[in-house]
Amino acid sequence: YNNIVDNNVVNGIRIMDHASGNWVISNKIRGNNYGVVIFDHGLNNTIKFNSITGNTRGIYFQEYSDNNVIKFNNMSDNGYGIYFMDYNADNKIHHNLISGNSNDGIYLWLYNDLNYIADNNISGNYIGIHLNEYNDNNTIQNNNVSYNGQYGIHLEYSCFNNTIENNIVNYNFGVSFNNAGIFLWNYCDFNTVTHNTVIGNLYFGIWMLSGSDNNLINNNTVSDHSTGINIQSSDSNTVISNTVINNTVSPITNEGIKIHVDTLGNIIKNNTIDNNEMGIHLVNNADTTDITENLIINNTAGGIFIEDLNCDNNEVWLNYFINNGFNANDSSDPGDSSWYKGGIGNYWDDYGGTDANDDGIGDIPYNIDGSAGSQDNYTIWDDGDDIFPNITIINPIPNQLFGAQAPDFNVEIRDKNLHKMWYTIDNGLNNYTFISNGSIYQPAWDLESNGTVTIGFYANDTGGNISFKEITVRIDILAPILTIVNPLNNDIRAKTNRTFDFIIVEENLDTMWYSIAGGQNHKFTVNGSLNQADWDTAWDATTWDGSFLVRFYANDTAGNIISVDILVRPNKQAPSSIPFGYNYFIIIGISTIALIVIKKRKLNQK
Q: Is residue 417 located within the same domain as residue 489?
A: no
Q: Is residue 27 located within the same domain as residue 84?
A: yes
Q: Is residue 468 located within the same domain as residue 442?
A: yes
602 domain-assigned: yes
67 domain-assigned: yes
Instruction: Give pLDDT, residue 589.
Output: 62
303 domain-assigned: no
Q: Per residue in 269-303, pLDDT tens?
A: 999 999 999 999 999 999 999 999 999 999 999 99
Contacts of 232 (CB under 8 A, 6+ apart): 207, 208, 209, 210, 258, 259, 260, 261, 263
Q: Is 99's pLDDT higher than 80?
A: yes
CATH of the domain at 450: 2.60.40.10
Q: Is 578's pLDDT higher than 50?
A: no
Q: Is residue 79 located within the same domain as residue 22?
A: yes
Tell me, letter by letter, the H, E, C secondary structure of 412-443: EEECCCEEEEEEECCCCCCCEECCCCEECCHH
Q: Collapsing DSSP states into helix, strand and coil, what is residue 533?
A: helix
Q: Is residue 424 located within the same domain as residue 461?
A: yes
Q: Collapsing DSSP states into helix, strand and coil, what is residue 332?
A: coil
Instruction: Give pLDDT, residue 595.
Output: 65
Q: Per residue in 190-225, pLDDT tens?
A: 999 999 999 999 999 999 999 999 999 999 999 999
Q: Is residue 562 located within the same domain as residue 584?
A: no
Paired sense of beta strands 116-118 and 499-505, if any:
unpaired
Q: Collapsing DSSP states into helix, strand and coil, what is residue 280?
A: strand
pLDDT band at 576 (very low <50, low <70, confident <90, very high): low
Mean pLDDT in the chain?
93
Q: Is 583's pLDDT higher than 60?
A: no
Paired sense of beta strands 466-475 and 451-461, if any:
antiparallel
Q: Which of 475, 500, 533 is the last residue of a domain?
A: 475
Q: Is residue 141 within 8 Å of 120, Cβ to Cβ?
A: no
Q: With a threshold of 0.85, does the pTM exceed it?
A: no
Q: Is 582's pLDDT higher than 50?
A: no
Give the whole-angstrom CA distance, residue 122 versus residue 152: 9
Instruction: Give pLDDT, residue 381.
Output: 94
Q: Is residue 18 located within the same domain as residue 103?
A: yes
Q: Per residue in 311-368, pLDDT tens?
A: 999 999 999 999 999 999 999 999 999 999 999 999 999 999 999 888 899 999 999 9
Bridge partners, residue 144, by sequence? 121, 168
Measured at the CA of 140, the angle between CA 135 and CA 142, to 5 degrees, comes to 175
Q: Per residue in 439-468, pLDDT tens?
A: 999 999 999 999 999 999 999 998 889 999
257 domain-assigned: no
For residue 164, give the amino acid letter.
I
Instruction: Give pLDDT, residue 591.
Output: 61
Give the whole-angstrom CA distance, residue 117 versus residue 96: 10
256 domain-assigned: no
The rounded Cα 241 to chain-centroid distance in angstroms is: 19
Measured at the CA of 170, the angle between CA 165 and CA 176, to 5 degrees, comes to 115
Which residue segment(s) compose the domain that 561 sits in?
Answer: 481-570
Q: Is residue 28 located within the same domain as residue 98?
A: yes
Q: Is residue 410 located within the same domain as residue 468?
A: yes
Q: Is 257's pLDDT higher than 70?
A: yes
The rounded Cα 85 to chain-centroid distance in angstroms is: 49
Q: Is residue 496 located within the same domain as residue 585?
A: no
Q: Is residue 486 located within the same domain as residue 591?
A: no
413 domain-assigned: yes
* Sheet with 499-505, edge to edge strand ranges: 481-486, 499-505, 528-529
The total domain count for the chain is 4
Q: Is residue 424 located within the same domain as residue 537?
A: no
Q: Which of 449, 475, 501 is the last residue of a domain?
A: 475
Q: Which of 125, 140, 156 is the last residue of a domain?
A: 125
Bridge partners, residue 385, by sequence? none
* 476 burial level (CB within 10 Å; 0-12, 13-18, 19+): buried
Q: Is 601's pLDDT higher than 90?
A: no
509 domain-assigned: yes
Q: Is 160's pLDDT higher than 80?
A: yes
Left (φ > 0), alpha (ψ -120 to 50) or beta: where does 509 sit? beta
Give the whole-angstrom CA distance, residue 164 versus residue 383: 44
pLDDT band at 141 (very low <50, low <70, confident <90, very high): very high
Q: Is 251's pLDDT higher than 60?
A: yes
488 domain-assigned: yes
Give the whole-angstrom CA distance, residue 406 versus residue 408: 7
